Amino acid sequence: MKMKRVNPAVLLLFGTLSLCILGFSSCKSDSPEAKPGALSLHIHTMVDTAEVEDYGGLLNLPGGRAISVTMAQLYISNVKLIKTDGGVVDGPSTVVLVQQGIEDYDLGDVPSGNYKSVRFDIGLSNTDNASTPSSSDHALYQPTMWFGSTPQPEGFVFINFQGSVDTTTNANGSQLIPFVYKIGTNEHRVTVTLPDQPYTVVPDELTVIHLSADYGKLLNGIPLNKIENLNIATAEANAWSWIVDIETNMAAIIQYEF
């Protein structure tokens, strides 16, 4: 029997279709990436285990030292998402000013997927810190976060913690002494990497990371009975050598809410 000759082009087409049937996605010309999800931070303002709700009210540090808080604010920027395999994903370029009385902060869209941690800076980038914001720059245009009457030339305050505290050695005094901690300058920007706690960003859905900011930790190890240690209000004062202790404390302020 005489065999019918098959056109080579037909064989090539048949082979390609077979591979597509077996491999599915390998034959797609452009496979779209998964849609992003939204990421938000929910942050409680704390002193030790007590939430700061009544600004000016009386609270206690660990050990019973009395404290009253009138200002507790800080900047969060440079958000990074840590994937379960250790890879790092850039978060939104949003700059967040964590303010007293506000708990929810939308960061924006991020790639969907599985993550184990989040990393961010307390403070601003060198570029933002040197900028002159307009009134439309809501996150930056905050006179409470300037060292002087304008943001220039000394830049921004990265964390502003103010109030009054018992300064007695035995932490049993009833008279509270005012304190001001305005910590800034590029040298005192700190990076915080939270412990592993898996979470998933789902496409087209909002993922919320629940945190607390314990401002009382800023005073850990600071000799409060020295009056010069209670007033850090200028960029020049931020150059004092012992401010490195506060910088260390800054990195411990934010943790997961439990």
What is the torsion angle, in degrees rounded to the nearest 10, for the CA atoms of residue 232, residue 236, residue 242 and residue 246? 50
Contact 154, 186 (CB under 8 A): no
What whole-number distance in Å separates Cα of residue 122 and Cα of residue 194? 13
Residue 3: per-residue pLDDT: 34
- Measuring CA to CA, how many Å separate 221 from each of 50, 175, 212, 254? 20, 20, 21, 18
Tell me the per-residue pLDDT of 184-223, one tens digit each, with 9 for 90 and over: 999 999 999 999 999 999 999 999 999 999 999 999 999 9
Tell me the per-residue pLDDT of 170-194, one tens digit each, with 9 for 90 and over: 999 989 999 999 999 999 999 999 9
Residue 239: per-residue pLDDT: 92
Residue 202: per-residue pLDDT: 96
Q: Which residues of the chain have pLDDT under 50?
A: 1-32
Residue 33: per-residue pLDDT: 59
Q: What are phi and psi of 66, to 5 degrees?
A: -75, 145
DSSP string of 85-144, one letter each residue: TS-EEE-----EEE-TT--EEEEEEE--EEEEEEEEEES--HHHHT----TT-TTT--GG
What whole-number distance in Å separates Cα of residue 233 and Cα of residue 157? 9
Residue 49: per-residue pLDDT: 94
Residue 77: per-residue pLDDT: 97
Among 150, 161, 37, 39, which Cα is nearest to 96's?
Answer: 39
3-state secondary structure of 255: strand
